[in-house]
Structure 1
Amino acid sequence: MTERQIVLVRNSWTYVVINAQEAGELFYSRLFHVAPAVKSLFKHDQKEQARKLMNMVTLIVTKLNKLDDIMNEVKLLAQRHGRYGAKPEHYQVVGECLLWTLEQGLGEQWNEELMEAWTAVYLTLSSAMIKGQLEVAA
């Protein structure tokens, strides 16, 4: 991730967090529409799950300059996801749904550069999560 990408992600997130709960619910609605098989992995209330997702994304966005500070937490999150039944191949569809949600939420502010910035963030974190999940499985 470049410094410019970090700035773009942080600035755009301030617009999304205004409607964080709505964004989280929109994300899960899209995820369950695109990949209905993953719905069975979610045992908690969807509103609660949406809140947790938005809180985690907010934490990540605030730590983009210091991702090493949260990598242990990311690894633990990955391990929990593995216990819930998440598989490495699920991360691609989750990323696609996250980008779709951001595009919906940001409307005209969404552009190619912003998409690339959020993609870089997601790929960094999803790679770390997959690695953490595979370490436990090995």
Structure 2
Amino acid sequence: MSFALYLAIMMTGDQIELVQESFAHVLPAAAGAAHTFYDRLFTLAPETRALFRGDIDDQGRKLFLTLAAVVDALDQLEKVVPVARALAIRHVGYGVEERHYSIVGVALIETLRGALGVRFNPETEAAWTSAYAILSGVMMSAANETASVKHVVAA
């Protein structure tokens, strides 16, 4: 079974719909949500602040553009997986470590909870948790492969 097919099985159609519908409610306030996300991330892991060298507003726009692309294609993971892998490989160069993925997940869920209020019910949270598990799993796999290759080449 291909990795993408395995991942597709992890989310139901209802979960994909919940993620897509809830994200549509967050998008109009994406700039504020991005600020909340980075505030939360830097509170949870202050050392991650040094990983962001550019304008944080620009970074927030990039974050939400990436999230929008992923959310839109959750039912077509064969499109998401290569993008997520490429993103992870770039993030290795920025200094992102595997442990950062879980912290980002917490910051994302907390941001969504705040942005969606009562719309962020247990089913929506479970759907987002599954979606992030898929995305971060793909990214960590690609990052680990990249780190392994760099380690072999350096040796």
Q: Is the TM value for this pair above 0.5?
A: yes
Alignment partner of 1:101 is 2:111: yes
Quote the residue 1:123 is aligned against.
133
Larger Rg: 2
What one-letter code is carried by the residue in structure 2 that aligns with 1:23? Answer: A
Q: Kindly provide the CA deviation profile for residues 55-109 of structure 1, in whole angstroms up to 9, marking residues without a partner as x.
A: 0000001001001112111111000111000011110000000000000000111
User: Is the CA contact 2:74–2:80 (under 8 Å) kept in the aligned structure 1?
Assistant: no
After TM superposition, the structure 1 stretch with the greater mean CA deviation from structure 2, 68-77 or 79-88, is 68-77
1:60 to 50, 57, 70: 70
Aligned-partner Cα distance in 2 for 1:121–1:73: 15
Q: Which letter maps to 2:22? A: S
Query: Hey, what's the Cα distance between the residues in 2 that align with 1:9 and 1:76?
Result: 23
User: Which contiguous aligned blocks of 4+ residues in structure 1 show a shift greater than 2 angstroms?
Assistant: none
Which residue is equivalent to 1:135? 145
CA distance, structure 1, for counterparts of residue 119 and residue 75 of structure 2: 23
Tell me, in whole angstroms, the C-alpha distance in 1 between the residues paired with 2:117 and 2:51.
30
Q: Assess if the C-alpha contact under 8 Å between 2:89 and 2:142 holds in 1.
A: yes
Give the aligned residue type for 1:47: D
Aligned length: 138
Matches within 5 A, 1:1-138: 1-138=11-148
Deviations 1:15-40 (A, max 9, x none): 00011111111100110111101110
Amino acid at match of 2:32: E
Q: Which runs of 5+ in 1 are unaligned?
A: none
Residue 64 of structure 1 aligns to a residue in which SS?
Answer: coil
Partners of 1:115 and 1:108 in 2: how far apart?
Answer: 11
CA distance in structure 1 between the partners assigned to 2:80 and 2:125 by the alignment: 23
Distance 1:70 1:92 in 2: 19
